[in-house]
Structure 1
Amino acid sequence: MRALEQNRSFTQLIEFEIEPHQQSGLVSALSEQTECLAQGYPGFLSGSVLASDDGRRVLNYLQWQTREAGEAAFQSFEKGEQDFWHLIRAYQAKTVTFGSFQVVRSIERSPDNALHCRLAS
């Protein structure tokens, strides 16, 4: 891996496919779990829980300073009581897709309403 790639932030995407009546419970559980990750693991940058309009999908978006930080948190956290595997069983997920991505570019709006494009350094 080139030095430039080693300095990029790391994103984990976990998509759950569920029955619509399970969505609100899974959103709550993932929100709590994301908060635990934020408080308990170094390198956490941001996290979001997204719910589809049709009620059949929930996406958990976690962004870390480095791949190592994200992987270490996930490995440590999955041994706990409320791990991702528990959520899969408890909310009867039909499918779960895990994805890992290096952030190479992001666009953000600043408080002064300007757009800023940041390349990963």
Structure 2
Amino acid sequence: MDRKVIGVGYEGLDLDGLVSQLRLRGVRTVVDVQLNPISRKRGLSKKALQARLSVDEMGSEHLPSLGNSRVNREGFAELRGPERMVIGDDGSAYFTSNHYDSFTQFRGPSQ
């Protein structure tokens, strides 16, 4: 099975626009890494988004441990470039050089 991790933001999109982008990219599961999965945009908070994704046959998970912790945020935006590393709960690790547009897995799950 071909598995990919992509990053998708919803800035400038409403719920329908976001779901359209997800469908175009072939997304099967959305993983929200925000500490608190809330949004001021109608339909994009956790429960409403999960309900809509379910209608469109996409899964969703909230994994705040993959996001940027509160203690690490101050000054982070000014210093960061497009490179990121994401580490899963299973120990797998991915690198992106283009701000979440694509990922390369460099470590598999811990055994």
TM interval, short-chain normalised? under 0.3
Q: As a proportion of its length, which structure holds more helix?
A: 1
The structure number with the bigger radius of gyration is 1
- Higher strand residue share: 1
TM-score (ref. length: structure 1)? 0.26
Q: Report which structure shows greater RCO (CA 8 Å, sep ≥6).
A: 1
